[in-house]
Every structure is written in C-alpha cells, then in structure tokens.
Amino acid sequence: MRIKVKSRITVFILSFITYFIITQIGKFDWQELVVGIVISFITAIVAGDILIMEKRKFKFSRIFYTICYIVRLLWEIIKANFHVAYLVIHPNLPIKPGIVKIKTNLKTDAGLTMLANSITLTPGTMTVDINKEKGEMYIHWIDVKTTDVDEATEAIGGRFEKIIKEIFE
C-alpha cells in the first residue's frame, strides 16, 4: 500500500516538472500552472502505481555508482558507434552474426530492463529476449567470438552486471 502511494507521488512530481519545462519557462502564468497541477494529479491517480514496484532503502553509495554507470555507458556508446561506422564503410562487410545465450544474476524488473537497454546500446550486441525465471538472456551478436554460455556471459554482460547490481538491488 505504501509503495503505491510513493510511486504516485513520484509520478506526480515527474509529470509536473515536464509540464513546467514545456509551458512555463520564459513566461509565467497562473492559469497554466493550475491546469498543470490538475493534469499531473489525474495522471498520478490513473496510471501512477506501476513506476516503483519494489521497496528499497536509500543508500548514499548509489549516487556514486550511478555517476560511474553513466560515464561508462557514454564511453561504450561512443565505441559502439565507431564500430558500426567501420563495419558499414568496409567494402567486404566483415560480419559473423549469431544469437547466443548468456546468464544473469539480476532478479528485479528494473535491473533486468537497464541491463537489456545497456546491452543494446553497446558495441555489436542486441537483446532479443529475456527468460526471467531461469535468468537467461538471448543476445544477437554481430561478430560472434564464442558460442559457449559462460565465456559469452563474461564478454557481454560482465561489463555492466556488477555496477547495475549495486544500483538497482
């Protein structure tokens, strides 16, 4: 019960900040402010209870790990883009695609989603499907180096799994 209330308050604040940035900057107007509060309230009542699902304690080290994660993710995205540009310009298309399977230890929905999104944005890999009960992910790899499950886990998921575990669990 209490988690749902917390989730609704978070949704209210986020949607009100978005509304404020879209309409209010540069010209301040009371009428639009009131309309924004009403609309954010309706949004929070109708669809607000699915943003936060698990109860977590606040830890100070989580902020530090989040900053590390963002820096690491930006670096990997830049590397991924140069990798794709090299592949596309090369006349012979040096690709060796395949779908491999990796294991993961994450349990929560938010952690799994962030791991899948990170894998999609990093060089040469893309998440195809997740099997949540067994903790397995199917990855499309544009340049397959190994088909073994453990080695592929080390090569693909090992970059992010520890740091996401610190943030989301």
Interaction site with other proteins (CB under 8 A): 18, 21-22, 25-26, 77-78, 80-81, 84-85, 87-89, 91-93, 95-101, 116-117, 120-121, 124-129, 131, 133, 138, 140, 142, 144, 147
Number of other residues whose CB lies within 10 A of the CB of residue 83: 15
Closest separation in Å from C-beta 110 to other proteins: 12
Contact (Cβ atoms closer than 8 angstroms) between residue 137 and residue 104: yes
Shortest gap between Cβ of 62 and other proteins (angstroms)? 19
The span from the CA of 103 to the CA of 144, in Å, is: 17
Placement of tokens 């954010």 in the chain? 40
The answer to whether the beta carbons of residues 101 and 127 sit under 8 Å apart is no
| 94 versus 158: smaller Cβ distance to other proteins | 94
Q: Rounded distance, CA 169 to CA 166, Å?
A: 6
Output the smallest distance, CB 161 to other proteins, in A: 17
C-beta of 5 vs 128, nearer to other proteins:
128
For residue 57, the minimal CB distance to other proteins (Å) is: 25
- Tell me whether residue 9 or residue 84 sits nearer to other proteins (CB atom): 84
- Return the number of the residue (71 or 84) whose C-beta is nearest other proteins: 84
Cβ-contact 161, 114 below 8 angstroms: no
Q: What angle do CA 86, 72, 143 make, to 5 degrees?
A: 35
Q: Which is nearer to other proteins, 121 or 155 (CB)?
A: 121
